[in-house]
Structure 1
Amino acid sequence: MDTDVLIVGAGPTGLTLANELRVAGVPTLLVDKLPQRSTLSKAGGVQSRTQEAFDQRGLLEPLLATGNHPTGTAHFAGITLSLTQGRHRHPWRSIPQAVIEGFLEQHLAAQGISVRRDHELTGLSQDEDGVTATFASGRVVRSRYLVAADGGRSTVRSLLGAEFPGRPGTMTTVAADVRLSGDDPVMTHTRSEDGHWASVFPLGTDPQGRPLRRLSLGGPGRSLPREVPVTEAEIRDGLSAVFGSRVQLLELRYARRITNAARQAAQYRHGRVFLAGDAAHVHLPIGAQGMNTGIQDALNLGWKLGAAVHGWAPDHLLDTYHAERHPVAAAVLRNVQAQSLLMDQQGTRDPDLVATKELFAALTQLRDVQYFLDDVLSGMGIRYPMPGTEGRPLVGLPAPDLDLGPVRSHELLRRGRGVLLDPADRFAKVAALWHDRVDRAGQGAGTEPMLIRPDGYVCWAGNPDDLEPALGHWFGEPH
């Protein structure tokens, strides 16, 4: 084998996975077909759960130190969820994808892992022992596992012939990175009476300290073929249709047309090949969910691949990647499609749709409705199907961040190992059997005992009789 894991695609998903495998001590090769990293913002919002995961690896603080990354308020279909402010330890933040990619690439380089660029995949085959990848240069790489993180038009997915069912794009909207003047709107979805609309949210600042905005535009007659270039005149006209003379375009840095295609791979695992990020699911970028879903794919898969490479993974462990992550992305596609409908992106002003949105907007004034939608968007409400969830409200959910005296519980996950919180020192004997894979923490008086997977999800809590089976289920045979 040339490497244990070959990752194709060095976007946020691939870079996050490479770091997870580094933490797990797994030799990894990360390749990308682009000759250099893209500087385009693309995605721009980082949800609470993703920030928690970065914090669990000690990456959040240095990431936030890269610039001005303002916080914002969640919205659903353009309706602000103001009652959710301050609900999570890490609020929604605006961090452009280009910043995240640059940060992760530099972090990996400092650990001796460099992205191999100009590597265009042209061939793929696998057998019972590994995967053989062929590149346009003629280079052949042999690995034990391969992960496709190469985007919505995934070459790996195509070479596999993997099913990618769903809906093709039926319309386009404009997404642009801009500087604006005048009554500069921030974090708003504004609609004119004739159906034209604009969404704006912050992207931090440029090198001169000037505020940047992500602008989305749509409405009657604005759905043009994807290949038609977006012009400054089109942006100015769209701003004028929504804001009149109150908002002016100062600079257009980047623009593209995006479609409302909604597709998801039928299977995330194909033998020794796995699909992750946009290679596994594509949808209209609403609510800052696409990049975050891909990063969470990587966090779920990374430790499981590490377990397989190191030889202690239970037979079923790699299959839990599809079982856990496929329903999550399916739910994202559903909520994005619902938001797109409620936002009336084509500006039809259909009376039935207007009435539906008015009723929905009234419902969102209820706290419980806002909390539910916030859980959907932030990732904090994801609950994986696991043994022991019955009657155990913590099992399957992200682990709470607890004060354990000298440390907080999230800091214990920085080694990328499982963590057993054992405040009463009751489980030292059984924990010793998995000491090479699970750390035991006896601090935290009053803390409920729980077992936390390396990706930060609780996989056991409460019943002492269930601890040893849970350790075996997630961490294999004892040492």
Structure 2
Amino acid sequence: MDTDVLIVGAGPTGMTLANELLMAGVSTVLVDKLSQRSDLSKAGGVQSRTLEALDQRGLLEPLLATGDHPVTTGHFAGIPLPLHSNRHRLPWRSVPQVVIEGFFEQHLAAHGLHARRDHELVGLAQDDNGVTATFANGVTLRSRYLVAADGAHSAVRSLLRAGFPGQPGTLTITAADVRLSGVDPSTSHTWNEDGHWAALFPLGTDPQGRQLRRLVLGGPGRSLPREIPVTEDEIRHGLSTVFGTRVHLLELRYARRITNASRQVEQYRHGRVFLAGDAAHVHLPLGAQGMNTGMQDALNLGWKLGAAVHGWAPKSLLDTYHAERHPVGAAVLRNVRAQSLLMDWAGTRDPDVLAAREIFTAMAQLPDVQHHLADLMSGMAIRYPMPGTETHPLVGRPAPDLGLGPARVHELLRSGHGILLDPADTFARVAGPWSDRVDRVGQGADTEPMLIRPDGYVCWAGADDLEPALARWFGEPR
């Protein structure tokens, strides 16, 4: 073997996974077909659950120190959710994808892991013991496992001939990183009577302190083939159509066309090959859910691959990656399709759509509705299917802010181990044989007993049957 795990694709998903494997002490090779890291900000926000995960790895504070990354108010279908930023301990932040990739690249390099670039995958074969990957530059690498994090046009997915059902793209919209003048800071989504619309999201400031924004334009006549370049004149015309003469383009930094394709791979696992991020699911970029869902795919998979490499993974552990993450991806596709319908991406001004949006907008002012949508969009509503979900409200969910306080729990998770909260010191003897994989925290935790996986999800809670849960998630005892 050249390495334990080969990751194809050095975007946010691939680099998040590389960090998880690095922390687990697993030899990893990270490759990418690009000759240098992309400077395109394909996503612009980090959700609450992803921020929690970064905090659990000790990465959140240094990431936020890289620049001005303001807290942002969420939206659903362009309808503001004012209560969104107060819903969770770590509210959404405006952190462009290009910043996240640069941060991870430096972090991994500081630990000796550098992406191998100019590696375009052209061949893939696997057997009972490993995976052989062949690249256009003549390099061949052999690994125990391979993870596809190579984006929407995944070469790995194509070579696997993996089923990728869903809806093809029927129209395009334009997304651009810009500097503008004349913008009302409270402006997020704007429509005109002809169906043309614009969405604006803050991207922080550039090194000169100038405000950057993500601009998205759509409406009648704006759906052009993806290969046609986006010009400054096109952006200016789109701005004038929606805003008139009050908003002006000062600088166009990057632009692309995005389709409304919505697809999800049928299986996230193919033997020793796993698919994650856009290689597994594609959809319209709403709420940065593509990037965040991909990073959370990596967080779910990383510790499980580490367990498999180190030899203590229960037989079914790697299969739980598909069982847990496929429903999450499917739920994201559903909410994106619902948002695109309510937003009237094509600018049809269909009376039925307008009526549905009017009613939904009124409902979205209710606190309970806002809280539900905030949990849905932030990743905090995730509940993985696992034994115990039928009987205990905490099992399958992210570890709550209880007992030790969130900061202390997050510090404990930085070891990459599981955590057993044992406030009455009841389970010291039972948990002892797993002490190399599970850190037990005794008196001082003002909560009921709880077992937390390395990815921060509760996998057991209560007072009975701890030993089967330890074996299910952490393998045979020493």
Who is 2:416 aligned against? 416
Assess if the C-alpha contact under 8 Å between 1:185 and 1:200 holds in 2. no
Question: For residues 169-212 of structure 1, what are the alpha-carbon distances to aligned partners after superposition, in whole Å with 9 as ceiling and x for unaligned?
Answer: 00000000000001344561111121110000001111211010
| Distance across 1 between alignment mates of 2:60 and 2:407 | 17
8 Å contact from structure 1 (residues 402, 410) kept in 2: no
Cα separation, 1, equivalents of 2:108 and 2:468? 36
The question of 1:372 aligning with 2:378 is answered no
Q: Which moved more, 1:178-187 or 1:311-320?
A: 178-187
Alignment of 1:202-281 (within 5 A): 202-281=202-281
> Which residue of structure 2 aligns with residue 385 of structure 1?
385
Deviation per residue, 1:76-126 (Å, 9 max, x gap): 000011123311111111100010001011101101111111111110000
Q: Give 1:402 deviation, angstroms.
A: 3.6
Amino acid at match of 2:391: G
In the alignment, what sits opposite 1:194?
A: 194
CA apart distance, 1:409: 1.2
Code of the residue aligned with 2:250 in structure 1: it is: L
Q: Residue in 2 aligned with 1:3?
A: 3
Q: Do the aligned partners of 2:85 and 2:92 also contact (CA within 8 Å) in 1? A: no
Report if aligned partners of 2:422, 2:445 keep a CA contact under 8 Å in 1: no
2:69 aligned partner: 69
Residues 355 and 405 (structure 1), Cα distance of their counterparts in 2 relative to 1, 3 Å cut: closer
Relative distance call for 1:405 and 1:334 in structure 2 (3 A) is closer
Look up the SS of the partner of 1:325 in the other structure: helix
SS of 2:348's partner is: coil
Q: Does 1:138 align with 2:133?
A: no
Instruction: Compute the displacement of 1:404 (Å).
Output: 2.4
- Whether contact under 8 Å (2:402, 2:446) holds in the other structure is no
| Cα 1:461–1:225 shift into 2, 3 Å | same
Contact 2:83 2:370 in 1 (8 A): yes
Q: Is the 8 A contact 2:50 2:292 kept in 1?
A: yes
2:170–2:261 Cα contact (<8 Å) kept: yes
Equivalence for 1:36? 36
For residue 466 of structure 1, report the CA deviation from its aligned partner: 1.8
**Is contact 1:195-1:220 (8 Å) kept?**
yes
Whole-Å separation in 2 of the counterparts to 1:32 and 1:401: 38
The equivalent of 1:429 in structure 2 is 429
Indicate if the aligned counterparts of 1:404 and 1:443 stay in contact, CA closer than 8 A.
no
Per the alignment, residue 111 of structure 1 pairs with 111
Aligned pairs for 1:300-339 (under 5 A) are 300-339=300-339
Shift of 1:241: 1.1
Following the alignment from structure 2 to structure 1, what is the Cα–Cα distance between the partners of residues 378 and 97? 17
**1:427-464 deviations in whole A, cap 9, x for unaligned?**
111111101110011143421210000000000001x3
Q: In 2 relative to 1, CA 331–103 (structure 1 residues): closer, same or farther, beyond 3 Å?
A: same
Mapped contact 1:424–1:442 kept (Cα < 8 A): yes
Distance 1:399 1:187, change over 3 A: farther
Change (3 A) 1:44 1:406: closer
Separation in 2, partners of 1:445, 1:257? 51
Q: Which amino acid aligns with 1:419?
A: I
How far is 1:225 from its partner? 1.1
- Of 364-373 and 72-81, deviating more is 364-373
Contact kept, 8 Å, 1:34 with 1:118, in 2: the verdict is yes
**1:453-468 correspondence runs (5 A):** 453-462=453-462, 464-468=463-467
How far apart are residue 217 of structure 1 and its match? 0.3
Paired residues of 1:405 and 1:443 also in contact (CA < 8 A): no
Does the alignment pair 1:93 with 2:93?
Answer: yes
How far the C-alpha of 1:273 sits from its partner, in A, is 0.2
Contact 1:18/1:28 (CA < 8 Å) preserved in 2? yes
Check conservation: 2:41, 2:97, Cα contact below 8 A. yes
CA RMSD of aligned residues (A): 1.2
- 1:136 maps to amino acid: A
Q: Distance in 2 between matches of 1:407 and 1:56?
A: 8
Matched residues in 2 for 1:300 and 1:27: separation?
18
Report if aligned partners of 2:148, 2:157 keep a CA contact under 8 Å in 1. yes
**Structure 1 residue 286: Cα displacement:** 1.0
Structure 1 residue 406, shift from structure 2 partner: 12
After superposition, the C-alpha distances for 1:232-255 in whole angstroms (9 at most, x for unaligned) are 111111111111111110001110
**In structure 2, C-alpha distance between the alignment counterparts of 1:319 and 1:475, rounded to whole Å:** 14
Q: Indicate the SS of the match to 2:297.
A: helix
Identity level (%): 78
How far did residue 147 of structure 1 move? 0.2
Runs (4 or more) in structure 1 with deviation over 2 Å come to: 183-187, 401-407, 443-446
Judged with a 3 Å threshold, the aligned counterparts in structure 2 of structure 1 residues 186 and 66 are, in CA distance, closer, same or farther, namely farther
Letter matched to residue 417 of structure 1: H
1:405 Cα deviation from its structure 2 partner: 7.8
Normalization by structure 1: what TM-score?
A: 0.98
Give unpaired runs (5+ residues) of structure 1.
none
Correspondence for 1:440:
440
- SS of 2:86 mapped into structure 1: coil
Distance in 2 separating the partners of 1:264 and 1:105: 28
Amino acid at match of 1:59: L
Aligned partners of 1:407 and 1:180: how far apart in 2?
39
Per the TM alignment, residue 337 of structure 1 is displaced from its structure 2 partner at its CA by 0.5
Aligned pair count reads 478
Gaps in structure 2 of 5+ consecutive residues:
none
Normalized against structure 2, the TM-score is what?
0.98
Deviation at 1:403, TM superposition (A): 5.2
1:163 maps to 2:163: yes
**For 1:172 and 1:81, how far apart are their aligned partners in 2?**
26
CA contact 2:121–2:133 (8 Å) conserved in 1: yes
The question of whether the paired residues in 2 share the 8 Å contact of 1:199 and 1:217 is answered with yes
What is the CA–CA distance in structure 2 between the aligned matches of 1:362 and 1:391, rounded to whole Å?
A: 35
Alignment correspondent of 1:350: 350
Aligned to 2:45: 45
Amino acid at match of 1:466: D
In the alignment, is the contact (CA less than 8 A) between 2:403 and 2:446 conserved in 1?
no
> Matches of 1:403 and 1:287 in 2, distance apart?
31
